[in-house]
Amino acid sequence: MALIALTGGIASGKSTIARHLADHGAVIVDADQIVRDVQSAGSPVLARIAEEFGAEVIRADGSLDRPALGARVFGDESRLAALNAIVHPAVRIESARRFAQVFADDPDAVVVYDVPLLVEARVDDPWDLIVVAHAPTDVRMGRLVEIRGLSESEASARIAAQVSDDRRLAVADVVIDTAGTLAETAAQVDRLWEELPRLTRTALAR
């Protein structure tokens, strides 16, 4: 049984690492998917978002208009904090429920929580291990421009809006360097999986 937090900045290769861990048998719990689930049409969270940010953030079919909501909070710390105060508690409750369900089904499971906002919201949770996906800013910029089609200014703004690399690296038990090839990243994940029993014992002993 192990509960691992996996985090990293935008375009850091975090999803690639999660896929490789899943190939090894880990159960991946996706924080972004939980956010979408708790904000689904008709949910109490979505109703509170509409109260706070206006009915304009709700589409005609009752679902959340994410671009409209994003326009209201991007670059505005107070508005973002208001949104997080609505969403984060619900995500925490739902993620805990999903962790518990996995461990109830398989007490020996390795659960990996794929969580972009670990440092911002979840760093003090009782993780057995914190894994950080890391690549230099210029590499991540290139991925955002070349793969996701963002302009350089858009890519720079996305990266700048997130917590700094230094703050992520400061909480890491393990850092996986994703700046190289996919094969090099996969090899690091393989080593992590092999060393997981020792690494989790070491982390718990601190």
Query: How do the pLDDT tens digits run along the chain, 206 residues long?
Result: 899 999 999 999 999 999 999 999 999 999 999 999 999 999 999 999 999 999 999 999 999 999 999 889 887 889 989 999 999 999 999 999 999 999 999 999 999 999 999 998 888 888 999 999 999 999 999 999 988 888 898 888 889 888 999 999 999 999 999 999 999 999 999 999 999 988 886 666 55
- Can you tell me which residue has the tokens 């925490």? 92
* Sheet arrangement for strand 110-114: 27-30, 110-114, 2-8, 129-134, 174-177
Beta bridge partners of 74: none
State the Cα–Cα distance between residues 17 and 19, nearest whole angstrom. Answer: 5
pLDDT of residue 203: 62
**Residue whose token pair is 């917590």:** 163
117 closest CA partner among 26, 11, 7, 37: 7
CB atoms < 10 A from the CB of 50, how many? 16
For the domain spanning 2-200, the CATH number is 3.40.50.300
Tokens representing 66?
């994410």
pLDDT of res. 120: 87
